[in-house]
Amino acid sequence: MGNENREQWGSKIGFVLAASGSAIGLGNIWRFPYLTGMNGGAAFVFVYLLIVLFIGFTVMLAELVIGRASQRGAVGAFKVLSKNPLWQLTGWAGVVCGGVILSYYGVVAGWSIKYAIASFGDLMSVAEAGGAGDYFGAFITNTTQVVIYQVIFMIMTIYVVAGGIGGGIERACKFMMPALFAILIILIVRAVTLPGAEKGIEFYLNPDFSKITGTTLLVALGQAFFSLSLGMGAMITYGSYLKRNDNIVTSSFYVVSMDTLIAFLAGFAIFPAVFAMGVQPGAGPGLTFITLPGVFARMPAGVFFSCAFFVLLFFAAFTSAISLLEAVAAYFKDELGWSRAKASWIMGAAITALGVPSAMSLGGTPELFGMGFMDAMEYLSDKILMPLGAIFIVLFAGWMMADKIEKEITSDGQYTFGLYNVWVWLARVVAPTAIAIIFVNGIWG
Ligand code: PHE
């Protein structure tokens, strides 16, 4: 397969934006706050930040290096870089993981469309009267509605991926990220000035370390991979569209920092409001959708801000979903020679179908492995496939590419990477060991 014709990112900033677009999504604004609320608040935030710093960054750089060095998607990368076919299992697991995540991701992303529209309807008045929880409950148990929004979201995602990377994705991200940032800042200002907000700030920032358990660590680890789009090959795939003279160290740094900043800000907007309005911090997956409408209802031009926020959440989810489908479709395109359009539509349709039982499980059934179907999909992806994938990815970059890795990272010495030695040992020993311990301890501990 000739690489001369491989699509590439339009510019350096284009890549950073697209990779941030992959990273920043529901993971930051929906999942991070609700997991923080369920897992002890500030102590969880603290553990999360440590994991991002030592493990997240290490894996991010490893994935980008593997992608760029091979110029292939997750499976092909290992095929090109190693003679041992067993490594390709890592890529395979990643492709499966991408499909599993996208199946329920599309469901939750559909909620943002519903809420953007509902901002103009009765959402504000219901939330003002304290009914946001019931409103959310009634919506997610209406399976037909949930599936309709899921399908709309998935069709849009497939359409973009079928059209190819480049222009579209990059342009959407350029506008979305600054807008999201601005609206989060406005939300924070409103949330922290609500009466009773101090308790939320305390919950979010003052850690009680007795709340950290083996499960907490695994949840934080899985969330770090989920939020940074790691451990399943999405960043390998995105890295494969990078040019040889891009600086992947600074790119990794920007992407990891921006993703973490947005998650942190989202929590900062949500927890003060949670306590000010008497919502339970451990309320679960509905937390963002239950809390924020109440904040908007207490703001001037609340309808406008509410709609703007959910539209941005939709965009954030959209750019992430695109990368998920891209990671899956790249396999069928690169390795089986399918056209981009065929790979996108066929796999996209299959993944949408897999999402339907997740949508239904919000109403109680079906179950799988003794939990709701959607919970089972989440468990499989972020507590099993991503940690395992990440272990093999860092081991591969650290040991299997040992003779050429420094050259790859620094683009043949074009850039300097002062912490190279630290990174290499993080990748070879510290990160895989830490992930393995957290994994074993979290699953069986
Ligand atoms: N990082 C995305 C988010 O936070 C989800 C995602 C996971 C995207 C894995 C790609 C790969 O919403």
- Ordered DSSP codes for 205-252: HS--GGG--HHHHHHHHHHHHHHHT-SSSHHHHHHTT--TTS-HHHHH
Q: Which CATH number belongs to the domain containing residue 383 in this structure?
A: 1.10.4160
Identify the pLDDT of residue 10. 67
Q: Is 86 among the domain residues?
A: yes
The two tokens of residue 231 are 């451990």
Identify the pLDDT of residue 2. 41
**Cα–Cα distance measured from residue 165 to residue 162, given in angstroms and rounded to the nearest whole number:** 9
Question: By C-alpha distance, which of 405, 393, 65, 10 is closest to 249?
Answer: 65
Q: What confidence category does residue 372 fall into, taking pLDDT thresholds of 50, 70 and 90? A: very high
Residue of 321 and 335 predicted with greater confidence: 321
| CA–centroid distance, residue 118 to ligand 1 (Å) | 25
Residues with CB under 6 Å of ligand 1 are 22-23, 25-28, 101, 226-227, 229, 232, 234, 320, 323-324
| CA–centroid distance, residue 411 to ligand 1 (Å) | 27
Q: Mutation test of ligand 1: which of 20, 22, 103 has the most ligand atoms closer than 8 Å to its C-beta?
A: 22
Number of C-beta neighbours around residue 86 at 10 A: 9
Q: Is 393 among the domain residues?
A: yes
Q: Is 4 among the domain residues?
A: no
| CA–centroid distance, residue 25 to ligand 1 (Å) | 6
Phi, psi of 368 (to 5 degrees): -150, 135
Identify the pLDDT of residue 168. 63
pLDDT in tens, 280-293: 999 999 999 999 99
pLDDT in tens, 33-92: 999 999 999 999 999 999 999 999 999 999 999 999 999 889 999 999 999 999 999 999
- What percent of the chain shows pLDDT beyond 90? 76
What lies within 8 Å, CB to CB, of 163 at 6+ separation is none
Question: By C-alpha distance, which of 398, 172, 111, 136 is closest to 283?
Answer: 136
Q: Is 5 among the domain residues?
A: no
Question: By C-alpha distance, which of 224, 207, 198, 235 is closest to 66?
Answer: 235
The two tokens of residue 390 are 């990440």
Q: What confidence category does residue 176 fall into, taking pLDDT thresholds of 50, 70 and 90? A: confident
**Cα–Cα distance measured from residue 137 to residue 165, given in angstroms and rounded to the nearest whole number:** 37
What lies within 8 Å, CB to CB, of 202 at 6+ separation is none
pLDDT in tens, 113-142: 999 999 999 999 999 989 999 999 999 999
Per the rule left: phi > 0, alpha: psi between -120 and 50, beta: everything else, 379 is alpha
The two tokens of residue 71 are 């110029």
pTM for the full predicted model: 0.94
Identify the pLDDT of residue 179. 87
Identify the pLDDT of residue 157. 94
Contact 388, 439 (CB under 8 A): yes
Contact 315, 65 (CB under 8 A): no
State the alpha helices, DSSP H only, in 71-87.
74-81
Beta bridge partners of 368: 371
pLDDT in tens, 336-352: 999 999 999 999 999 99
Question: By C-alpha distance, which of 305, 313, 360, 314 is closest to 123?
Answer: 305
The two tokens of residue 141 are 């148990």
| CA–centroid distance, residue 143 to ligand 1 (Å) | 24
Contact 390, 438 (CB under 8 A): no
Question: By C-alpha distance, which of 165, 225, 231 is closest to 396?
Answer: 231
Q: Is 282 among the domain residues?
A: yes
- CA 8, distance to chain mean position in Å, is 22
pLDDT in tens, 225-272: 999 999 999 999 989 888 888 899 999 999 999 999 999 999 999 999
Q: Is 396 among the domain residues?
A: yes
The two tokens of residue 214 are 């083996």
The two tokens of residue 134 are 């019931």
The two tokens of residue 48 are 């999360």
Q: Is 262 among the domain residues?
A: yes
Identify the pLDDT of residue 246. 86
| CA–centroid distance, residue 206 to ligand 1 (Å) | 28
Q: Is 1 among the domain residues?
A: no
The two tokens of residue 444 are 């069986």
Q: Specify the number of domains making up the chain.
A: 1
The range of the structural domain enclosing residue 143 comes to: 12-444
pLDDT in tens, 141-170: 999 999 999 999 999 999 988 987 556 666
Q: Mutation test of ligand 1: which of 20, 48, 96, 101 has the most ligand atoms closer than 8 Å to its C-beta?
A: 101
| Mean per-residue pLDDT of the chain | 92
Contact 346, 333 (CB under 8 A): no
Minimum-distance ligand 1 atom for the alpha carbon of 28: 4
**Cα–Cα distance measured from residue 81 to residue 396, given in angstroms and rounded to the nearest whole number:** 10
Question: By C-alpha distance, which of 97, 94, 107 is closest to 30?
Answer: 107
